[in-house]
Chains A and B, each alone.
Chain A
Amino acid sequence: DAKTTQPPSMDCAEGRAANLPCNHSTISGNEYVYWYRQIHSQGPQYIIHGLKNNETNEMASLIITEDRKSSTLILPHATLRDTAVYYCIVRNQGGKLIFGQGTELSVKP
């Protein structure tokens, strides 16, 4: 599975958009980009995934660059409850999820 690179931490003001970047420069054609988050003492929560097109659901938007070497998770109006560790994962068919260290997002009032 391809490796991902994320900043270790980020801050965001409550009510503003949180843009979390992820670099996956070695991604191959059939690998999906997945985003999960983990709030302390809970299991990882699935957020969104995509292959090459931008995706949006009720939680977030996923923007994948045309060359697929990087992506950005967007939380449009961050709340204090969005404070968590966010994991960007590249996964191929039959592949297990390989979690990196993730980005610790702190949403501040």
Chain B
Amino acid sequence: KAGVTQTPRYLIKTRGQQVTLSCSPISGHRSVSWYQQTPGQGLQFLFEYFSETQRNKGNFPGRFSGRQFSNSRSEMNVSTLELGDSALYLCASSVNGEFYNSPLHFGNGTRLTVT
């Protein structure tokens, strides 16, 4: 079974621009979560989607948004990029993320650099 696929692997943007990251979950997985990882803050939860609906949200500004399509693929968008948005963005999928007995499986992330 193919793992979680994230594209692109690397991205360089300038301040003020916007960016869209893509995530394809493991086949059969309906929940997709997004995390931001930085050296200073570690791994932080952004949001979770299930059946095209946002089910959980972390403490990030409204510039961070996402969506999920009917095939469970998900995209994350960051608008008006700031230098502090430079990070590794990780996507994770699970059969049903709400159940505590359903492990999340992560992709290898998109490394975003904002200059």
Binding site for B on A (CB under 8 A): 30-32, 34, 36, 41-46, 49, 51, 87, 91-101
B75 CB to closest chain A CB, in angstroms?
17
17 interchain pairs (CB within 8 A)?
A31-B100, A41-B108, A42-B108, A42-B109, A43-B92, A43-B106, A43-B107, A46-B106, A49-B101, A87-B43, A94-B56, A96-B48, A97-B35, A97-B45, A97-B92, A97-B104, A98-B45
Given A43-B4, A43-B108, A93 contacting B100 (CB threshold 8 A): yes
Please judge, given known A-B contacts A93-B98, A100-B42, whether A44 and B103 are in contact too, CB under 8 Å.
no
The 10 closest A-B pairs by CB, nearest first: A43-B106, A99-B43, A96-B45, A93-B100, A46-B103, A43-B108, A44-B106, A32-B100, A94-B98, A43-B90
Chain A nearest CB, measured from B5 CB (Å): 11
Hey, which chain A residues are within 8 Å of B56, CB to CB?
A: 94, 96
- The count of A-to-B residue pairs whose CB atoms sit within 8 angstroms is 56
Would you call B109 and A43 a contact (CB within 8 A)?
A: yes
The answer on a CB contact under 8 Å between B101 and A44 is: no
User: In the docked arrangement, what's the CA distance between A96 and B36, Å?
Assistant: 13
Q: In the bound complex, what is the Cα–Cα distance between A32 and B100 (angstroms)? A: 7
Contact B48–A101 (Cβ < 8 Å) = no
Q: Among A41, A44, A101, which residue has the most Cβ atoms of chain B within 10 A?
A: A44
Contacts of A51 in B (CB 8 A): 101
Let me know if A34 and B58 touch, CB within 8 A: no
B100, A46: Cβ atoms closer than 8 Å:
no
B100 with A96: CB separation less than 8 A:
no
- Give the distance in Å from the alpha carbon of A49 to the alpha carbon of B105 in the complex: 13
